Amino acid sequence: MKYIIPILVALLFLSCGSSNRTIGDVKQPTDCTAEGKKQFVYEVMHDSYLWADETPVLSEQNISAHKDEEALLKTLKHPKDRFSHIMTIEDHDDFFEAGISIGFGFDPIYMMGDNNTTMFITPVLVYPDSPADKVGLKRGDMIASIDGIKIFDFYNSEILHKKYFIEDEDNLTMKLQLVDTRELTISKKEYDIKTVLHRSIIAQNGIKTGYLVFQSFIGTSQKELEESFKYFKEQGITELVLDLRYNGGGYVYIANYLSSLIGGNRVEGTIFNQMQFNQKYSQYNEVEYFGKAPEHALNLSRVFIITTKYSCSASELVINAFRASSNSVDVIQVGSSTCGKPYGMIGSEFCEKIILPVQFGSVNGDGVGDFVDGLAPMCQSSDDITKNFGDQSEDSLSTALFYIQNSRCKTISRSFKAYKTKDVLTGFRKMYGIY
């Protein structure tokens, strides 16, 4: 195996300096027929997969009976595994390396209105400078119809849902009718992914708090984080609220860098993460340390982190790393429990695709990492999707600010109307909020 460094896609681990991203003894298929691809996936899942010893053994006939390699992967996955997947190399590299996407630039969910008689689609986030942002769409806007079609029809029609939200139809244009009577026309285009969605300073009773909404730990994030923390340091903040409520993960080295910007010399040189492979590849087990404190590190003794069930992997890695006894940064987690992904991937390329099976577990400096049910918050709060990021009345941000002022969690109450919601996106798109 070539020399490897730990970088993460929801703890992603890639071989350094090679387009042949792989670990283990399985060779790329020489023929890219349906059968060749299925056989390759089958062998990978019995070799470097974290639970390779428990992966079902199938006959050649049974392997062949599966529709495609994605269907076979679903059969082979361990009950704990909600994360192994296959995607095109192009999509993978566009997102994680180049930081670009082709789409509309917002993450939509279905939202039921009053008395279950109306339904809307609302963005839970909008990427800066994306097509959605440029036409004025923002988090919390309620879309009543698309191209004159009511949202109930999208919800109840698999054909409509696939056409607009699943299929990669180039040059798609939508006309949105919003509840507030605005009409927006939005076209699918290529845009640069900005992972800092919002930053601001909140001053209350002499305390300056930095608020940062961070979405995805990708290669282009480092510069954005550096600029944001430089701004926070110049403004003299003494508290930080890091909003990771929809952050599905990304590279380990970006997670390490973000954590070092927060903790600075308080964590420098201590254990950040430990990777543990299956028994066959235990020689690749590795300990990663916090690096040297970056120039704009805040050296904070505590950080408030907002999470939801969509906070995965690298987001959880940051929290878990700080929770180790060797580190002197306290985490006050606010919101709801995270998704529960203490696992990572290396991945193997084949036939213009890449399979990303779970291939190692991740633990902190205390050896703690089996949080398959997620990391639970200290202060519970709700995600008020009707309010934009930075609104101090939004429940999760309000809860963090209350703790800063009162050194305790506020009494749980809903000061906003609760709506029934359902995800629009699935799979990779849902994890990273890309549409």
CATH of the domain at 106: 2.30.42.10
Structure tokens at 412: 């749980």
Using 50, 70 and 90 to split pLDDT, how confident is the model at 429? confident
Looking at residue 95, what is its pLDDT? 82
Judge residue 430's burial from the number of C-beta atoms within 10 Å of its C-beta, 0-12 exposed, 13-18 middle, 19 or more buried: middle
214 falls within a domain: yes
CA distance linking residue 341 with residue 41, whole number of Å = 22
What residues contact 37, with CB distance under 8 A and at least 6 apart?
Answer: 29, 68, 69, 350, 351, 353
Looking at residue 413, what is its pLDDT? 65
Looking at residue 287, what is its pLDDT? 96
pLDDT at 401 over 70: yes
Domain check: are 398 and 258 in the same one? yes
Domain check: are 139 and 241 in the same one? no
Give the closest residue to 128 by CA, choosing from 191, 212, 194, 222: 194
- 76 φψ region: left (φ > 0), alpha (ψ -120 to 50), beta (else): alpha
Looking at residue 369, what is its pLDDT? 93
State how far the alpha carbon of 33 is from the alpha carbons of 44, 59, 69, 251, in Å: 17, 18, 11, 32
Instruction: Please tell me which residue, 57 or 8, carries the higher pLDDT value.
Output: 57
Structure tokens at 169: 């139809």
* Residue numbers of the domain that contains 170: 102-192
- The sign of the CA dihedral 61, 65, 70, 76 is negative
By DSSP bridging, strand 330-335 and strand 379-380 are parallel
302 falls within a domain: yes
Using 50, 70 and 90 to split pLDDT, how confident is the model at 13? very low
Structure tokens at 73: 């992967």
Looking at residue 433, what is its pLDDT? 78
419 falls within a domain: no
pLDDT at 8 over 50: no
Looking at residue 11, what is its pLDDT? 38
Inter-helix orientation angle 252-263/314-322, to 10°:
40
- The sign of the CA dihedral 357, 359, 365, 369 is positive
Would you give the DSSP letter of residue 83? Answer: -
Structure tokens at 51: 């639970």
Domain check: are 174 and 323 in the same one? no
Looking at residue 12, what is its pLDDT? 44
Using 50, 70 and 90 to split pLDDT, how confident is the model at 233? very high
Using 50, 70 and 90 to split pLDDT, how confident is the model at 289? very high
Count of structural domains within the chain: 2
- The mean pLDDT of the chain is 90
- The sign of the CA dihedral 294, 297, 299, 301 is negative
What residues contact 282, with CB distance under 8 A and at least 6 apart?
Answer: 276
pLDDT at 399 over 50: yes
Domain check: are 108 and 218 in the same one? no
pLDDT at 418 over 70: no
382 falls within a domain: yes
Strand order across the beta sheet in which 353-356 lies = 85-88, 353-356, 348-350
Name the percent of the chain lying above pLDDT 70. 94
Give the closest residue to 343 by CA, choosing from 78, 92, 73: 78
Domain check: are 136 and 247 in the same one? no
Angle (CA) 433-385-337 rounded to 5° is 70
Looking at residue 57, what is its pLDDT? 97
CATH code (residue 395): 3.90.226.10
Using 50, 70 and 90 to split pLDDT, how confident is the model at 415? low
Domain check: are 318 and 336 in the same one? yes
CA distance linking residue 223 with residue 235, whole number of Å = 18
Alpha helices of 32-149 — where are they, by DSSP H?
Answer: 34-45, 60-65, 69-76, 89-93, 131-134
Q: Do residues 179 and 142 lie in contact, with contact meaning Cβ atoms separated by under 8 Å?
A: yes
pLDDT at 4 over 50: no
CA distance linking residue 395 with residue 335, whole number of Å = 9
Structure tokens at 433: 């909020």
Looking at residue 32, what is its pLDDT? 95
Domain check: are 379 and 247 in the same one? yes
Using 50, 70 and 90 to split pLDDT, how confident is the model at 17? very low
Using 50, 70 and 90 to split pLDDT, how confident is the model at 142? very high
Using 50, 70 and 90 to split pLDDT, how confident is the model at 361? very high
Structure tokens at 142: 């309620």
CA distance linking residue 155 with residue 120, whole number of Å = 10
pLDDT at 416 over 70: no
pLDDT at 104 over 90: yes
Mean pLDDT on 143-151 = 95
Looking at residue 384, what is its pLDDT? 94
Domain check: are 226 and 332 in the same one? yes
What residues contact 126, with CB distance under 8 A and at least 6 apart?
Answer: 105, 106, 132, 133, 137, 138, 139, 197
Domain check: are 174 and 220 in the same one? no
Looking at residue 308, what is its pLDDT? 97
Domain check: are 399 and 266 in the same one? yes
Looking at residue 168, what is its pLDDT? 73
- Which secondary structure element, helix H or strand E, spans residue 225, and what is its range? helix 221-235
Looking at residue 100, what is its pLDDT? 87
pLDDT at 265 over 90: yes
pLDDT at 70 over 80: yes
Weakest-pLDDT range from 16-25, 79-88, 110-119: 16-25
Q: Do residues 172 and 188 lie in contact, with contact meaning Cβ atoms separated by under 8 Å?
A: yes
Domain check: are 201 and 172 in the same one? no
Which of 134, 157, 192 represents a domain boundary (last residue)? 192
β-strand partners of 202: 209
131 falls within a domain: yes
187 falls within a domain: yes
pLDDT at 408 over 70: yes
Which of 137, 161, 192 represents a domain boundary (last residue)? 192
Q: How many CB atoms lie within 10 A of CB 1?
A: 13
Give per-residue pLDDT as tens, 122-137.
999 999 999 999 999 9
Give per-residue pLDDT as tens, 155-200.
999 998 888 888 777 778 999 999 999 999 999 999 999 999 999 9
